[in-house]
Amino acid sequence: MGTPMLSMDVRRFGQTTAVVDIKGEVTAACEPMLMSAYEAAGGSATSRLVLNFAGLEYMNSGGIGMLVTLLVRANRQRQQLAAFGLSAHYREIFELTRLDEAITIYDSEESALDGAVR
Amino acid sequence: MTETAGPEKVRSADQIGLSAREAAAPPPRDAPPRDDGASWARKVDRLEVDHRDGVRGTNVAGRRLTGPVQGFGKMWQKTYRMNAGTQITPEAAIAVWREHFPEFWPKGNRFAGALTGINPGDVALLDLAIGGGVKLSTGVFVLYADAESFTLMTPQGHMFAGWITFSAEREGDATMVQAQVLMRANDPLYEIGMIMGGHRKEDKFWVATLTALGQRLGLPAPQVEARNTCVDTKRQWRHSRNVWHNSMVRSVLQTLAAPVTSLSRHRHGAKSQA
């Protein structure tokens, strides 16, 4: 498996919300990293996980599959999954794969967090 | 709006137990960033279909695509993997697979794609043997294709909602070729069918496909390893009404109605000539 060209940082907002800043290339090879970031974001203690894709440079279909796996994990814990920072290209991919029906997409971090605490 | 205590940056990549190689931010590059712009299909709301010879071509036009989120049954990840040896590169293996995709399908099943092979945005029509002389007519959409992988996504009415990714990569000196299905049965009828032998039949189908690919790549005795993981044991009952689009039920009805349809068409043609 190739070297993941990716970094992830986790920021927490209060007890229930966490933002994961994703930078680089999202492929199936990044699954262990994303799941580690999920745990670092509080695991099941977090009620809302927000993914920041502003630093996303490349994503293949394996990357989309990995997001579905994360979504299943979040659903199992009754957590909401949201995203922001998607370029028009990646927003179109979310719509094409109909992932946008399960992961709410926001235009900005502010609106994503606002949605989180509303 | 509630007050939030933050942002509190709690963990960086290396604090969450990643290797130094993975945690480097930004990651070191010896190549420019990859561009996936041409690899993804353009957005479509409903599928459009061209006529293709040799298949019935029903149950696809006007249908929406369905991913694992829209399916009904338990969610499965099925991985079929083959060691293609040291002589072939991942890119060469995928090029052969993309160009000759239908030729590797087991006998009795038809894949009618574009003449140019597998390209993003293409719609292929399928006739699948389901026994009793009945063909299940459905299709697939090419969601993604690049030099190392390609992905097919299914429409409403297909046996499963999800996608299949075909890929190849170097592992040590060898090239590993893989087909990976991420799916949920599309509706309750298909879910029953999967339990009653559908999973076994699907395993057989993809093992046969990879074996045929291995033979084309020159392997003397291709060995395919299959691994099935249930990713989500929950069924999504809110999607049980997907059964309305069930292509198996519709294909059976279309097969039964075929003599009447053909006679009606014949009569209409005779009238027009008179």
| Residue B14, amino acid | D
Query: Within 13 Å of residue B217, how many CA atoms lie on the same side as its CB?
Result: 34
Choose the closest CB to B169 out of A1, A37, A117. Answer: A1
Tell me: pLDDT of A15 over 90.
no
Q: What is the mean pLDDT of residues B97-118?
A: 91
CA distance A54 to A22: 7
Contact B12 A9 (CB under 8 A): yes
Give the model's pLDDT for residue B13.
43
Phi-psi region of B54 (alpha: psi -120 to 50; beta: other; left: phi over 0): left
Tell me: pLDDT of B115 over 90.
no
pLDDT band at B14 (very low <50, low <70, confident <90, very high): very low
CA distance B116 to B271: 40
pLDDT band at A116 (very low <50, low <70, confident <90, very high): low
What would the pLDDT profile of B236-253 be if each residue is shown by its tens digit? 999 999 999 999 999 999
Helices (H), A1-118: 31-40, 61-76, 88-96, 109-117
| CB–CB contacts below 8 A, A to B | 149
Nearest to B152 by CA among B179, B186, B184, B177: B179
Q: What is the mean pLDDT of residues B36-51?
A: 94
Residue A109 three-state SS: helix
CA distance B83 to B176: 5
Q: What is the mean pLDDT of residues B53-70?
A: 94
Rounded to two decimals, the ipTM of the complex is 0.90
Please state the domain extents for chain A.
29-83
Q: What is the mean pLDDT of residues B82-102?
A: 96
Structure pTM? 0.87
- Say which residue the tokens 């297909």 belong to: B158
Q: What is the mean pLDDT of residues B115-144?
A: 90
B188-227 burial: b if 16+ Cβ within 10 Å, else e: bbbbebbeeebeebbbebbbbbbbbbbeebebeebebeee
Tell me: pLDDT of A105 over 50.
yes
Give the model's pLDDT for residue B3.
35
CA distance B218 to B87: 9
The partner residues of A19 in beta bridges, in order of sequence, read A11, A50
Identify the structural domains of chain B with CATH numbers, from first to last. Answer: 52-234 (3.30.530.20)
- Within 8 A by CB and 6+ apart from A24, the residues are A4, A5, A6, A7, A55, A56, A57, A58, B26, B27
Q: What is the DSSP letter of A118?
A: -
Structural tokens at position B207:
């093992």
Q: What is the mean pLDDT of residues B223-247?
A: 97
Of residues B263 and A38, more confidently modeled: A38
Tell me: pLDDT of B38 over 80.
yes
Tell me: pLDDT of B209 over 60.
yes
In chain B, which residues have their Cβ closer than 8 Å to the Cβ of A61? 143-144, 149, 151, 163, 165
Give the model's pLDDT for residue A24.
94
Tell me: pLDDT of A33 over 90.
yes
Give the model's pLDDT for residue B117.
84
Mean pLDDT of chain A: 91
Maximum average pLDDT range among B3-7, B163-167, B270-274: B163-167
From B33-37, B103-107, B196-200, B201-205, the region with the lowest mean pLDDT:
B33-37
CA distance B269 to B274: 9
Give the model's pLDDT for residue A45.
80
CA distance B114 to B124: 7
Choose the closest CB to A65 out of B182, B232, B234. Answer: B182
Maximum average pLDDT range among A2-11, B91-100, B128-137: B91-100
In chain A, which residues have their Cβ closer than 8 Å to the Cβ of B12? 9-10
Tell me: pLDDT of B2 over 70.
no
Mean pLDDT of chain B: 87
Contact A61 B17 (CB under 8 A): no
* End-to-end C-alpha distance for chain B, whole angstroms: 76
Of residues B98 and B6, more confidently modeled: B98
